[in-house]
Structure 1
Amino acid sequence: MSSTNNVLILLARVLLSFMFIMSGFGKLADPAGTAGMIAGAGLPAETALAYLAGLYELIAGLFLLVGFQTRITAWTVALFCVFTGLVFHTGTVAIEGWPEGALGWINTLNQIMVMKNITLAGGYILLAVIGAGAYSIDARRGAATAIA
């Protein structure tokens, strides 16, 4: 694989890791919003699940950033994106006391979040298929073979 392709794979890993690192850190620092979404979806142990989601997102984001266990991590993140998109961002949002115009905006944003999650899943699947590239911990360990 050319060095240009390996630089582009590194850039893709950095960009694909950013959201998970920032989101995971945010959930660990203040899990209340996530716990509310989890409770709203009818799942139990909302605070514990919010912390677990934050920890997973932070660790997965860091693994992607440095290219460690990239193929496995990318597959799990792709599944996470589809799951969270379908469970937390489908359906109509109705918040008591909010004006109709604000709810319309929130519902539009929610639709965008579903599309974002599904689209990102495609990027993570591609990363799972091609691997971490030469500039990664996986490459140093001999586990980063990618499609030429």
Structure 2
Amino acid sequence: MSNASIASEKAGLGAGGPALVLLGRVLLSVIFILAGYAKLTAIGGTAGWFASLGLPMPTATTVVVGLVELLGGLAILVGFQARIAALVLAVFTLAATAIAHLDFADQIQVMFLQKNLAIAGGLFVLAAFGAGALSVDGRR
């Protein structure tokens, strides 16, 4: 029995636990898959925004960030090396928040800050408990 299965049983989730973990992974992964794809298909625009933030080598940064988001999101979606992917994306999300979403005078940026903190929290939970039975990791 996997740690995720034991955790589900202890939490009283029973047979529905693996499905809830899968649903959580799907919901967490969507934002990263879409954001990564968007960056990789609009490199010039994203690089321009990154340059305005003062990030170094904005084009290369765009490609790296896009790949981290896309590949990390896909890893979480299918549950492949999900603990590692979740940790990478959690740290990435906190770093992105510190770089781009700390303008407390802008309510939109405050909302992005709160959203990102919640996403990072979900990713840390995923890193702690794993991808669950309905995953590539759970099949190994």
Question: TM-score w.r.t. structure 1 length?
Answer: 0.81
Aligned to 1:28: 40
For 2:126, the equivalent position in structure 1 comes to 127
Q: Cα distance, 1:90 vs. partner?
A: 1.4
Show structure 1 runs of 5+ residues with no match.
93-103, 142-148
Identity of matched residues, %: 43
Q: Show the counterpart of 2:8.
A: none
RMSD: 1.4
CA distance in 2, matches of 1:88, 1:36: 14
Q: Which residue does the alignment assign to 2:23?
A: 11
The whole-number CA distance in structure 2 between the counterparts of 1:63 and 1:22 is 14
Q: Runs of 5+ in structure 2 lacking a partner? A: 6-13
Detail structure 1 runs of 4+ shifted over 4 Å in the superposition. Answer: none
User: How many residues were matched structurally?
Assistant: 128
**2:84 alignment partner in structure 1:** 72
Matches for 1:86-101 after TM superposition, within 5 Å: 86-91=98-103
CA distance in 1, matches of 2:83, 2:19: 17
Matches within 5 A, 1:45-124: 45-91=57-103, 107-124=106-123
1:38 Cα deviation after fit: 1.8
Structure 1 stretch displaced more, 39-48 or 124-133: 39-48
Contact 1:37–1:88 (CA under 8 A) maintained in structure 2: no
SS of 1:19's partner is helix
Contact 1:74–1:127 (CA under 8 A) maintained in structure 2: yes
CA deviations over 1:4-25 (Å, ceiling 9, x no partner): 1110000000000000000110
Structure 2 letter corresponding to 1:133: G
* Separation (CA, whole Å) in 2 of partners of 1:42 and 1:118: 23
Higher helix share: 2
